[in-house]
Structure 1
Amino acid sequence: MKGSCGSNADRISNLPRDVMQLILTFLPVKDAAKTATLSKQWRENWRANTQLVFDRDFSRMSKTELYALHSSKPLMLEIFKALLVPDGPITKFELIIPGLKPSPDIMDLIVVYLSKKHVQEFLLAFSHHLDDDGYPAIDGKVPPALFSARQLNCLKLHGCEFTAPSWFLGFSNLTFS
């Protein structure tokens, strides 16, 4: 068949916008970001992405390498930079990197930014190991800015330490599952 490999062969860039956005939600963040180089349509869809999941696939580091770091500041900066790309709201944010030693100042910036972007689902998991007594280790403090994210309807914290400020009256939109 003549002409089947012509300029009309790029069928994936002609998919409906909602299908392209759905594809992005199934890709690791680094791979989803790379789709922006495919075409103008993919670039626009990456900028419209509302769900960001940062996990081991994002860090590309083994658990041992992460534990060996004295500071995960460079990785935290990469996460913050990725947050700056989407134009609209970020409805879902997950940070699940085993062994990540969070940088409190950058973590606070991330939470403040997400609060302004109307984050609805927030999952933070700092630790996937046990302490000497066999209890889940506490590896990071939840930034106080999280308590200003009043639009949250799903909040999951693992291996985190937090103290609610005295002015905090609760998350009125949280649903329990």
Structure 2
Amino acid sequence: MNAGIKNVESDICGEAFTQKGTLERHMDVHAGINNRECDLHGEAFTKKGHLKRHMDTDTGINNHECDVCGKSFTKKPYLKSHMDMHAGIKNHTCAICGKAFIRKNHLKLHMDMHAGIKNHKCAICGKAFTEKSTLKRHIHMHTGTKNHECDVCGKAFTQKGTLKLHMDVHAGIHNSECEIGAHVPM
């Protein structure tokens, strides 16, 4: 063994390894070989670490607890990411517009928006969206589902943001009138 020297390399992706066995396990990933199986229900994984993470989740081992809200996690890095959210730390910055995000996957979704990638398509009208949550809100427009109700006048809305704008009416932030008759900003 060559102490720390990466002298074996993947022909597919170019990633280098110090040991031939590690390269062989890596090549299983490229080949789609899932030879690490969950004993509880048979789900297979290409990497030992992925199986371990899955097993921790399956067995309910969440021994990393948030001091702020009590939520617990299977891995310390997951807790750290969660704590960054509480602290408002945004380590993932868009190279195009400079917008920063707490979570790496949120940056990826944002980058999809810049690239025009819209993987979430409405089965009713065909309109496509970058984010699944935006598609869900859109579908409420078709179904008429109004889950967001005003505590003041009882008017319901399909979107939380529309309710918030409506609440501004009652708070006197916009000039308009609510249907219950009181002069309030819209």
TM-score with structure 2 setting the length: 0.23
User: Considering only CA atoms, is the larger Rg found in Structure 1 or Structure 2?
Assistant: 2
TM-score with structure 1 setting the length: 0.24
